[in-house]
Amino acid sequence: MKLKGEGEIKMIRTDKLFTIKEASEWATKYLGKTVTTSNISYLIQYGRIKKNGDNGMAQVSQQELMNYYKSYNGKREILWKDQLGEDLNWALSFDQYKEAETTKHVHRLHPYKGKFIPQLVEYFLDSHTDNFKKQIYFKRGDIVLDPFAGSGTTMVQACELGMHTIGIDVSAFNALIGNCKVWKYNLDTVQAEINRITKALRGFLSNSHTLEFEENLLQALYEFNNKYFPVPEYKYKVKRRQINEGKYGAEKEKEFLPIFNKLVKTYDIKLKQDKADRFLDKWYSQHIRDEIDFVFNEIKKIKDADAKRIISIILSRTIRSCRATTHADLATLVEPITATYYCAKHGKVCKPLFSILKWWETYTKDTVKRLLQFDKLRTQTFQFSLTGDSRTIDIFGELEKKNPAFAELARKQKIRGIFSSPPYVGLIDYHEQHAYAYDLFGFKREDDLEIGPLYKGQSKEAKQNYVQGIVDVLINCKKYLVDDYDIFLVANDKHNIYPTIAEDAGMQIVNQFMRPVLNRTEKDKSAYSEIIFHIKGK
């Protein structure tokens, strides 16, 4: 006979409590892959598992950990293969790499939506072979072409591997990001200019009340959030639906507003600009706008052109982080916000920014650190991203204008092959994602020349134009390639149009590598794969 509550008692007895360190060791064995203590802390922080005990002696339950891992991780490979087919090349998921590695050194110099991970480029360019990649395609000294160079991932990896790269992008700002990543700087000059501008910005700020206002606001938020959104209990309860997040968040947001408004009044903070005509008018508070204009003017005084370019990129990265948007809408701007708000991403009341100083200082340090790291890995090779339309650009002619020595080598040697990820039909507007930078620097926008932008949709006509666009790029680029070229195009070809593209360009698909894409957002756990099409001449 079973006594009342016997099952419960048994469960409690079999469940073990681990310290964070023990939990990481257990999970490492259980999953057969390294689970660090910070991985465990992350699970607690984000309310996936509960923390028992206090900070000094935090413990977690083995049963809860096991349930978590059973629910999602580990199972993914089997599940995805069921959905996407056995030829899914799990090695190409690169899931053993931490985020710090997939965004290593200069790859995270500036945000850019739609880049591929460097390990993928490396896989195809380097000299290893395996069960899937049975041949080496590129060698040191070869020239690689990326006709959709974007933020320059191919250039950076080719530079590490001792290959030259010609990039092309229709967006002038994208080409600038790419070129800034591979450029060799005099880092002493860069650092000296950064110091000068930071000092000037601090001086500029000492005349305003914004820093004091932010300090007080942060303190008030800290107290409020500690009281109503304790970490990690609040998120834990939300996950388990013990709190109605929407209702509670809205209530608390409203409750904090009078405190915010009072501070705004005390410090005479101007939340909006008088005009809203340009991006820079609409998406920044008056104080931030003044600081942006101030720093930009300081940048204009820099004599060293290379330092000027990279510091412009830092300013661009800074102002992107300072747009008047909620944390949740950073990628897709909705409406400018001017007050504190409940932030579902962080599970507390957050605030917009009122000064660029913090991000400016963070990004200046981060950029110099990343440039130094890349300096140790780079090879003495040519890398250049041209601004132009890959359907029509005279590649060697334009290169001649920018780098005659590289153009001479390219004419002599020709291009060995292509590694690129084209835009896809109706997914991203590549100019619009950096609207702030176009507005600030005044680069010419060529939105109309983008192949398959989001704003042109996914209609039948849009697809036909897309096919024609990519075909035209391949035909144009072919003129500059060696006869026995290899082309690798990364695409999530859900409309199955790449076979037509290859055919229309007079080429053939000789192989397809199917790669699982794991590092997607928390919300979207669906199986998703990309294909790397290997294309050759007929």
Ligand X SMILES: C[S@@+](CC[C@H](N)C(=O)[O-])C[C@H]1O[C@@H](n2cnc3c(N)ncnc32)[C@H](O)[C@@H]1O
Least distance to ligand X, CB of residue 257, Å: 40
DSSP notation for 230-290:
-TTHHHHHHHTTSS-HHHHHHHHHHHHHHHHHHHHHHTT---S-S--SSHHHHSS-HHHHH
Question: Hey, which residues between 404 and 443 contact ligand X (CB under 6 A)?
Answer: 421, 423, 430
Nearer to ligand X, 24 or 171 (CB): 171
CB of 521 to ligand X, least distance (A): 18
Minimum distance, C-beta of residue 400 to ligand X, in the bound complex (Å): 19
User: Whole-angstrom Cα distance, residue 531 to residue 501?
Assistant: 14
Nearer to ligand X, 174 or 367 (CB): 174
Piece in contact with ligand X (CB under 6 A), picked from 166-174, 261-269, 349-357, 508-516 = 166-174
Give the CA dihedral 124, 126, 127, 131, nearest 10 degrees: -30
Cβ distance to ligand X smaller for residue 282 or 320: 320
For ligand X, the closer of residues 181 and 282 by Cβ is 181
391 binds ligand X (CB under 6 A): yes
Question: In what order do the strands lie in the sheet containing 507-516?
Answer: 383-387, 164-169, 143-146, 415-420, 481-491, 529-537, 507-516
Closest of 488, 531, 375 to residue 138, by C-alpha: 488
Tell me how far, at minimum, the Cβ of 387 lies from ligand X, in Å: 9
Which tokens in the block code for residue 253? 């947001």
d(CA 151, CA 352): 27
> Residue 292 carries which side chain, given as an amino acid letter?
I
- Neighbour count for residue 473 (Cβ, 10 Å): 25
Of 215, 146, 200, the C-alpha closest to 174 is 146
Q: How far is the CB of 177 from ligand X (least distance, A)?
A: 8
In this complex, which beta carbon is closest to ligand X, that of residue 151 or of residue 210? 151
Which of 380/521 has CB closer to ligand X?
A: 521
Burial class of residue 12 in the structure, from the number of CB atoms within 10 Å of its CB (0-12 exposed, 13-18 middle, 19+ buried) = exposed
Type of residue at 215: E
- Considering only residues 100 to 139 of the shown chain, the ones binding ligand X according to CB under 6 A are 112, 114-116
Q: Verify binding: residue 171, ligand X, rule CB under 6 A.
A: yes
Q: Which is nearer to ligand X, 88 or 177 (CB)?
A: 177
Location of structure tokens 């000037």: 200
Shortest Å distance, C-beta 453 to ligand X = 7
The single-letter DSSP state of residue 445 is: P
Quote the least distance from Cβ 121 to ligand X, whole Å: 8
Among 24, 61, 93, 153, binds ligand X (CB under 6 A): 153
Helix, strand, or coil (residue 164): strand
| Smallest gap from residue 187 Cβ to ligand X (A) | 24
| Cβ-contact 345, 328 below 8 angstroms | yes
Task: Pick one of 89, 174, 225, 385: the residue that binds ligand X (CB under 6 A).
Answer: 174
Label the pairing between strands 415-420 and 529-537. unpaired
CB of 100 to ligand X, least distance (A): 17
Of the candidates 24, 61, 89, 151, which one interacts with ligand X according to CB under 6 A? 151
Helices (H) and strands (E) in the chain, counts: 22, 11
Residues 6 or more apart in contact with residue 158 via CB below 8 angstroms: 121, 125, 144, 164, 165, 381, 383
- Residue appearing with tokens 């780098």: 403
Name which of 318 and 390 has its Cβ closer to ligand X.
Answer: 390
Binding mask 351-390 for ligand X (x = CB under 6 A): --------------------------------------xx
Alpha-carbon distances of 263 from 209, 214, 222, 271, 423, rounded to whole Å: 11, 9, 15, 12, 46
Q: Name the residue nearer to ligand X (CB basis): 143 or 205.
A: 143
Q: Considering only 149-157, 231-239, 281-289, 434-442, which stretch makes contact with ligand X by CB under 6 A?
A: 149-157
What's the closest the beta carbon of residue 154 comes to ligand X, in angstroms? 6
R_g of the chain computed on alpha carbons:
26
CA distance 245 to 475: 54
Q: Could you give the string, one character per residue 198-237, with x where binding to ligand X holds by CB under 6 A and - elsewhere?
A: ----------------------------------------
The residue number whose beta carbon is nearest to ligand X equals 150
Least Å from the CB of residue 120 to ligand X: 9
| CB-nearer residue toward ligand X: 114 or 162 | 114
| Residue in 84, 91, 299, 449 binding ligand X, rule: CB under 6 A | 449
Q: In this chain, which of 47, 49, 88, 150 binds ligand X, going by CB under 6 A?
A: 150
Report the interface residues with ligand X, using CB under 6 A.
112, 114-116, 147-148, 150-151, 153, 168-171, 174, 389-391, 421, 423, 430, 449-451
